[in-house]
Structure 1
Amino acid sequence: MKFSKERLRLGFIIVLLILTTIFLSFYDKVLSFPEELKAIEGKERILELQFPFNVSVRSDNGDLLINGNHLKNKYIVVNLSEPVSLKFLQQGTINLELKMLGLIPLKKIKVNVIPEIKVVPGGHSIGVKLRSDGVIVVGYSNIIGPDSKKYSPGRSSGIQLGDTIVEINKEKILGVEHMAEIINETSGSEVELKIKRNSKIFSINVKPIYNKQEGLYQLGLWVRDIAAGVGTLTFYDPENKVYGALGHIITDIDTGKPIEISEGEIIKAKIAAIEKGERNKPGEKKGVFVQEDKIIGNIQKNTSYGIFGILNQELNNPYYHLIPVGIISEVQEGPAEMLTVIKDDKIERFNIEILKVFHQKNPDNKGMIIKITDKRLIDQTGGIVQGMSGSPIIQKGKLVGAVTHVFVNDPTKGYAVFAEWMVGLAKEYNENSNNTVVNF
């Protein structure tokens, strides 16, 4: 009898330990669940905690439905072993409190309820022209001096590739020709250059040298004041005429450094040919500008998440009118589609798969990994090629992202930025407009 009681006691302890272990493993899942969420006003949000116990849920400020039951300043008991339906009925911040047995605190969740934003998805090929704030140093040149030796005064003075020359003798530089004119007028006298490097501004003094071959005084620098290329427009908000494109920053082709712009514009473009992508050899869309004198929009900012500005004409999409912008929590691994142009100016739909979603708290242009699954697109382009950057990604009828990078070792795969970041940041980068974009 004594032996049986000991076995019973031991069995009870083992069962208790097993139950405790199970409870703690599920409890850890609850603890690891995000403490802050976003939700769209009036839209269902599914909460999955996979906690095998009934839990009391309370909101002390806000109006919402839980599994269809109205919750406002009271507790509702729900079974967290199954998905819980939440529908937030008002914008603002709502605090949820979860307790087990109505006593033991489990989790506090802050929900930011935002209005649904709808935009017109892009896919259009665009020509991009950026004018830098000054001129960008892209190389050095040698000037034969009076002693027949080679000199580059700019290089000797410490000017680096990628530096932007903003002023000469306190006069703002308007372009390459303007700079050449100012330098030549010095007749060899020392000049003061205002240099911008990595957002820092400082001055450098340089003495030009006379170039007999050119018949001009020069600094021995190659400079550029404009960058141009072809990319893809991501979205257009007809309410305030704001657009976003590319999904990543534009860098100088020679120095690889971001271009700080003074002004820029986008125009229509057509795709004349495709250079097919291969392993370790990225492909490229060969585009041509159409009606260069007809500007369709300005460029207000060149950012890590693309270029932003205002369109001066309406934008239409052949497949969609207005569609919602998906927030990050709505993006799922699985099938999606990409809109882009591979011939002339015709936007087409192509099948892709979202392989991995990185649930970021802060903006980054590598929010998900995608894979081209459309055989026709792979046959014609090899996958993702240069010029596809900004191609919108649609999943379940929502704009969820834009293509940004290709994997060099596998052109069928690449990175994409979340549409939430691009649309939300549009307000900040709409500097010259009184229009308003809701900030996600």
Structure 2
Amino acid sequence: MGICFSIEEQQSQQLQKQEQSPRSVKRNQVKVGHEKATSPNTPEKGVCSTPPTPRNVKDLRKSPGYSNVDIFTYEEMRLATKHFRPDLILGEGGFGIVYKGLIDDNVRLGYKNTQVAIKELNREGFQGDREWLAEVNYLGQLRHSNLVKLIGYCCEDEHRLLVYEYMASGNLETHLFRRVGSTLNWSRRMKIALDAAKGLAFLHGAERPVIYRDFKTSNILLDADFNAKLSDFGLAKDGPMGDQTHVSTRVMGTYGYAAPEYVMTGHLTSRSDVYGFGVVLLELLIGRRALDKSRPSREHNLVEWARPLLNHNKKLLRILDPRLEGQYSVKAVMKVAHLAYQCLSQNPKGRPLMSHVVGILENFQSNIENQEALLQSGGGSGLTLYEVPKDTPACESERRLPSRSEREPKVQQSKPGKGRSKSEPPNDCDLYPSPDLLL
């Protein structure tokens, strides 16, 4: 599961005091965005229920909960994880430990066998009831095929647990940077990008827009068929409504993914998520982390180093992930690179809407599927998928796939393949430790 963002204890205490004040209560009366319910047969549009939104754990315990979310006891969670057996641990982050579990008739009488991921809040960690409750509120109401499904939760005594659908292929970060021998091919990377874009577009298009605020590779989960879904809504925030242009808040997120204007001002908009999407798209293209201090100093920040090269064919092709060689046409790569360039604009208004991004990637995915169908109907071709034939006219040289020698820079300071960073991802932390800025 993705790693939730860390919060300093002192700030958490200050925020709890603010929430108890009349001013904070008034400010928090309107919470989670609601999407109009649609038919169950239209999952792409998403559905949600509309019960009153609990403002704190006490309210949640008094309310009947959400109709599509189960409430579990702590004993049931112990049974589902075989008493939190260590060999069932899937991962650990700022929120706590995530276990693989099974809920069946032995856990709850009459319950259909369901594989789940159970995330237990670390009571000594930086993240607390605020983030836990945000996950329950958002995922308890929002339903979409590209958002991870919240099956239930446990809120018993001091215990806080969340029960999600089990995502068999883990997260995108693991496949891109950690798993030895695991390579995502070009078409699969583009499909993951499209799925993630659909999830963001759904959140931004809700009746009360939702800003995800922590879009990164570790928060993109993959099922057994590598369909991508967004997880970890602990930092999600209601977007601006009516005449509001932005939401003012303390700056939270992950270094390397947070939009520059948000870091500088605390002004949050849906375009902040678009910037984060651009960073992930760049990681899919280049095969490098957003931040990697094991590389030469000018290459520490992926966006600062790579964005100026995205509009230059030869320079771009030299920095592409070498594991993708032979799987794409130059024309296709340039289109994706241009989209990433737009998403990473320093000017928020220069970034496209996520609905527009989805349209571009859907058209792109359709072309990929058509080419795959042609290859299959032709009985198998000697050409690598998406490779331009060698007899391409000279006037179309910009579409020719370069040889390895043409793609490699003359001076290599680090090998992009085997010399990949062994360092752990940068620690998530509060980017701008200041109290909430009120509108």
- Compute the TM-score of the two structures, normalised by the length of structure 2: 0.23
Larger % of helix: which? 2
Q: Which has the higher strand share?
A: 1
Taking structure 1 as the reference length, the TM-score comes to 0.23
Does 1 or 2 have the higher relative contact order (CA < 8 Å, sep 6+)?
A: 2
